[in-house]
């Protein structure tokens, strides 16, 4: 990889699926990667994989719903590690409840994880990027970002809110040199969680009928590298066999 690093990338929600793949992809391209989950020990294997490949990473345990914790984390990265070039918000909260079983607590918690936490991360990223006039803020969306499915009222509400946030931010920050993009991931991502919960269904899918997280991650670095004359706001990715 060489010693020279391109800048700092923060991945909020770097799990064993897409978030981890995004972190590894930027690290492979020479970026210093900061990555978060609520419990830092859950990042141990991902951090080891990045470092074994020659990358530089800083795992952090942060509850992304807590404003003080997010503000402190961004300040720490900027003051001790380096200026943020890319911030990726990748918290999912894909939980199914029938509407009559959706308590206010459940709805609020899903909104906190998938929408409010995105606002906090996006706001703090903008604070540091605006004076420099550059940077990318990338939000991970889902099928629920544009259509609500039965049993997913909380998730769809939160993902619709995140999409609206990203669209508003793109219009405000684009003229100031900051690229804000929203990536709709339409379909099942091939992760250990998906294999455990939908294994029988996944076996019925045709070849390349499930989203590969490493291949999705290529789109994140592509978006960051886009020239300003041809920025994409919204990108959707899905397997060839997914109905839409």
Quick: pLDDT tens for 83-127: 999 999 999 877 788 888 989 999 999 999 999 999 999 999 999
pLDDT of residue 5: 66
Which tens digits make up the pLDDT trace of 151-162?
788 899 999 999
Q: What's the CATH number where 213 sits?
A: 3.40.50.720
Predicted TM-score of the model (pTM): 0.94
Question: Is 243 a member of any domain?
Answer: no
Q: Which residue has the tokens 């684009």?
A: 174
What is the per-residue pLDDT across 187-244, written as a single tens digit (0 to 9) for each? 889 888 788 878 888 888 999 989 999 999 999 999 999 999 999 999 999 999 988 7
Q: How far apart are CA 67 and CA 69, in angstroms?
A: 5
219 is a domain residue: yes
Q: Is residue 168 part of a domain?
A: yes
Share of the chain above pLDDT 90, in %: 76
Position 22 confidence tier, pLDDT thresholds 50, 70, 90: very high
Q: Is residue 3 part of a domain?
A: no
Query: Beta strands of 69-157 (E only): which ranges?
Result: 84-89, 136-142
Average pLDDT of the chain is 93
Domain carrying residue 116: 8-237
pLDDT at 1 over 50: no
| Domain count along the chain | 1
Q: Other C-beta atoms within 10 Å of 201: how many? A: 11
pLDDT higher than 50, residue 129: yes
CA-nearest of 94, 36, 32, 22 to 64 is 36
Q: Nearest to residue 49, comparing CAs of 18, 77, 31, 28? A: 28
């Amino acid at each position: 990889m060489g010693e020279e690093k391109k800048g700092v990338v923060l991945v909020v929600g770097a799990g064993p699926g897409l978030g981890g793949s995004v972190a590894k992809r930027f690290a492979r391209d020479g970026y210093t990667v900061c990555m978060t989950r609520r419990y830092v020990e859950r990042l141990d294997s991902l951090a080891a994989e990045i470092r074994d490949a020659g990358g530089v990473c800083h795992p952090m345990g942060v509850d992304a719903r807590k404003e003080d914790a997010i503000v402190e984390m961004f300040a720490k990265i900027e003051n001790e590690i380096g200026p943020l070039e890319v911030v990726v918000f990748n918290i999912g909260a894909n939980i199914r409840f029938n509407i009559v079983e959706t308590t206010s607590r459940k709805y609020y918690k899903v909104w906190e994880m998938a929408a409010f936490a995105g606002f906090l991360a996006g706001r703090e990223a903008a604070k540091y990027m605006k004076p420099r006039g550059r940077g990318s803020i990338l939000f991970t969306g889902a099928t629920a970002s544009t259509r609500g499915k039965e049993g997913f009222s909380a998730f769809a509400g939160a993902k619709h809110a995140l999409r609206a946030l990203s669209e508003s931010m793109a219009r405000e920050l684009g003229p100031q040199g900051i690229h804000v993009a929203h990536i709709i991931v339409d379909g099942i991502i091939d992760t250990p969680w998906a294999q455990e919960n939908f294994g029988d269904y996944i076996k019925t899918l045709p070849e390349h009928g499930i989203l590969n997280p490493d291949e999705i991650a290529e789109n994140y670095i592509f978006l960051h590298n886009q020239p300003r004359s041809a920025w994409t706001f919204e990108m959707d990715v899905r397997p060839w066999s997914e109905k839409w």
